């Protein structure tokens, strides 16, 4: 049987595709049926797509609106979503994933107590960011305005006029002895220390604010598990948790 098959196989002729004739060799390879099929399918696919788009354009409603129209823009002919402001910073995400709300609230209260203690020590009399107070003096005539001398009016030394605290009068300076630092280098050192303390206070205030925002965001995410209907009133921002309005429900 095997010899018979071999005999039949030897008689079979191998099929060869017709090649490009010699006088048309400059035009490249001769297109076969499978090549034509691929080209025809691609052509018809494009024609069907164009027909569908043409139909969609004819049936388009001029008053059509959907919200993605205002949240996206065209870039090189492609619709791209507009970049929105980051609602949660990376630091907030890290704390919210790893820490519990009780821990965050405990740290915030500890920071608030330290802030109160520092405020009690410093009194915020010469803080850099503190709004400067105004002191208005009233006189009887324009001549007095021109000849007005602040140091003589306050009865203090001209060098002490710019101070907002510890500004003794000339009489006090003459009758009583000065207590505290007198040497310029010591005064300068104390001023530097006070400035450093104000910097620490500012950092603690910022940290306390961040902790407060994180605790609010954790609480808002817990409140979202409530089954009552809710509507978002304000979006979440890096400095504020999202605000929701819940449907009032009578408790039995």
* Ranges of each domain in the chain: 91-121, 128-202
pLDDT at 132 (0 to 100): 67
Average pLDDT over residues 123-138: 65
Average pLDDT over residues 70-90: 78
pLDDT in tens, 147-190: 888 777 777 877 777 776 667 777 776 676 656 555 677 767 87
pLDDT at 20 (0 to 100): 79
Closest among 195, 193, 206 to 114, alpha carbons compared: 206
pLDDT at 91 (0 to 100): 73
What is the percentage of the chain residues whose pLDDT exceeds 70? 79
Between 9 and 79, whose confidence is greater?
79
pLDDT in tens, 16-54: 777 778 888 888 888 888 889 999 999 999 999 999 999
The yes-or-no verdict on residue 129 having pLDDT over 60 is no
Average pLDDT over residues 231-246: 83
DSSP percent split of the chain into helix, strand, coil, nearest 5:
55, 10, 40
pLDDT in tens, 92-121: 777 777 777 788 888 888 899 888 888 877
Specify whether the CB–CB gap between 181 and 187 falls below 8 A: yes
Task: Compute the half-sphere exposure of residue 231: CA atoms within 13 Å on the CB side of its CA.
Answer: 4
Token readout for 147 is: 């000849």
Rounded distance between C-alpha atoms, residue 94 and residue 104, angstroms = 12
Between 226 and 15, whose confidence is greater?
226
> What is the chain's mean pLDDT, rounded?
79
Rounded distance between C-alpha atoms, residue 194 and residue 185, angstroms = 14
At CA 72, angle to CA 68 and CA 73, rounded to 5?
140
Token readout for 103 is: 């821990």
pLDDT at 125 (0 to 100): 53
Average pLDDT over residues 241-246: 83
CA distance to 94, 225, 230, 251, per residue, from 246 (Å): 28, 12, 4, 14
Closest among 62, 43, 61, 39 to 51, alpha carbons compared: 43
The yes-or-no verdict on residue 1 having pLDDT over 90 is no
CA distance to 132, 153, 185, per residue, from 148 (Å): 21, 8, 33
């Amino acid at each position: 049987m095997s010899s018979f098959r071999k005999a039949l196989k030897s008689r079979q002729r191998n099929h060869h595709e017709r090649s490009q004739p010699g006088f048309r060799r400059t035009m490249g390879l001769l297109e076969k049926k499978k090549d034509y099929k691929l080209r025809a399918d691609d052509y018809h696919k494009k024609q069907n797509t164009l027909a569908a788009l043409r139909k969609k354009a004819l049936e388009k409603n001029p008053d059509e609106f959907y919200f993605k129209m205002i949240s996206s823009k065209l870039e090189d002919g492609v619709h791209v979503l507009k970049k929105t402001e980051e609602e949660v910073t990376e630091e907030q995400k890290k704390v919210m994933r790893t820490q519990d709300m009780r821990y965050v609230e405990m740290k915030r209260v500890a920071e608030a107590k330290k802030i109160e203690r520092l405020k009690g020590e410093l009194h915020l009399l010469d803080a850099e960011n503190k709004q400067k107070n105004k002191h208005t003096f009233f006189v009887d005539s324009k001549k007095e305005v021109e000849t007005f001398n602040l140091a003589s009016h306050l009865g203090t030394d001209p060098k002490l006029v710019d101070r907002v605290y510890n500004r003794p009068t000339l009489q006090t300076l003459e009758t009583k002895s000065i207590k505290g630092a007198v040497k310029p280098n010591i005064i300068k050192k104390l001023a530097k220390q006070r400035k450093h303390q104000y910097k620490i206070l500012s950092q603690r205030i910022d940290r306390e604010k961040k902790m407060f925002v994180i605790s609010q965001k954790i609480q808002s995410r817990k409140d979202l598990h409530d089954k009552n209907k809710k509507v978002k009133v304000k979006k979440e921002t890096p400095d504020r948790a999202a605000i929701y309005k819940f449907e009032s429900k009578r408790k039995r």
